[in-house]
Amino acid sequence: MQQTARTVVIHEHGGPEVLRIEDRAISDPGPGQVRIRHQACGLNFIDVYQRAGLYPMEMPHALGMEAAGVIEAVGEGVTHLEPGQRAAYAAAPAGAYCEARVMPAAQVCPLPDSISFDAAAAMMLKGLTVEYLFNRTTPLKRGDTVLFHAAAGGVGLIACQWAKSEGIKLIGTAGTDEKCSLAQFNGAAHCINYQTENFAQRVAEITKGEGVDVVMDSIGADTFEGSLDSLKPLGMMISFGNASGSVPLIDIGILAKKGSLKITRPTLFTHIADHTVCQAMARRLFGKVEGGEVKIHIDQRFPLDQVADAHRALEARKTTGSTILEL
């Protein structure tokens, strides 16, 4: 008898109202695939971008990029996982909002027993993002200064702790005083409430006019110009998200005028495309968590059938830390 799994699917792009839960058939894994039964799923802004159409998808399509669970079956050629093994992932294609699925095995990672399924589902996409931001995008060393937007979000709270563990001074931004306090509690040296202060001016004050070595910006349109203004000469701007909308087109000459700045727009999925690199990144993340240097904050939990409410909360910036969908 063929198995089915409750799965969140969209048939058109739009608001949270387009999210539907359907029973979808799941098969045995083919070569290079696994079947994984989820225990928890993660919620991320990329899910919103895909649902809304900023990142267009063929319809109908399941949503979700991150989950943790138990391997039920492996296909031919899969050697790093076996049935009964705990595992977690952040990987394409979308489809993680479900009870179980068949998917490519290369980016599915063995999960240490010491890390819970909930924590793994909350941290894979966010934690691997922080890993590439701090270790693979531009050289960073102890004593460097980073401006990190949305410092009280899921990625941000991991970044605050990661920076502190490596001796990097992180200046965060957030939208309320409470969120700023949360970021500082988790390791930010400073946190600026961008609703009440001009963050670029405040960065200049904190750095005594020097600016920061690197900006890590997932907000996009609302913060882009101020982010460039916060960099020191030869500084690096890492634009890795569009929470407030896409960054407008710019005249590349502005980078020269503002101090020979550098800019990049990386994605996690480029970094983890190589199986060996992906597994190494996951081991580094797991090591940070197992060693106590990074604690995962799960501040919101929604049942799978309340996924639309979870999207509304995320888009309204009413969340802190990570959000998971419970199965």
Domains by residue range for the chain, with CATH:
3-125+269-326 (3.90.180.10), 138-265 (3.40.50.720)
Please give the DSSP secondary-structure letter assigned to residue 326.
Answer: E
- Are the C-beta atoms of 99 and 38 separated by less than 8 Å? yes
pLDDT per residue as tens digits for the range 26-75: 999 999 999 999 999 999 999 999 999 999 999 999 999 999 999 999 99
> What is the rounded average pLDDT of the residues 13-38?
97
Chain centroid to CA 233: how far? Answer: 28
% of the chain with per-residue pLDDT over 90: 96
pLDDT the model gives residue 243? 86
pLDDT per residue as tens digits for the range 220-237: 999 999 999 999 999 999
Half-sphere CA count of 28, side-chain side, radius 13 A: 5
* Dihedral sign computed on CA atoms, order 141, 200, 137, 51: positive
CA angle 25, 30, 34 (to 5 degrees): 75
Say which range, 79-83, 170-174, 246-250, has the weakest mean pLDDT: 246-250
pLDDT per residue as tens digits for the range 109-158: 999 999 999 999 999 999 999 999 999 999 999 999 999 999 999 999 99
pLDDT the model gives residue 246? 87
From the list 268, 241, 262, the residue with the least C-alpha distance to 131 is 268
Is the predicted pLDDT of residue 1 greater than 60, yes or no? no
> What is the rounded average pLDDT of the residues 255-274?
97
Please give the DSSP secondary-structure letter assigned to residue 95.
Answer: -
Q: Is 73 helix (H, G, I), strand (E, B) or coil?
A: strand
- Are the C-beta atoms of 292 and 274 separated by less than 8 Å? no
CA angle 237, 198, 155 (to 5 degrees): 50
> What is the rounded average pLDDT of the residues 13-26?
97
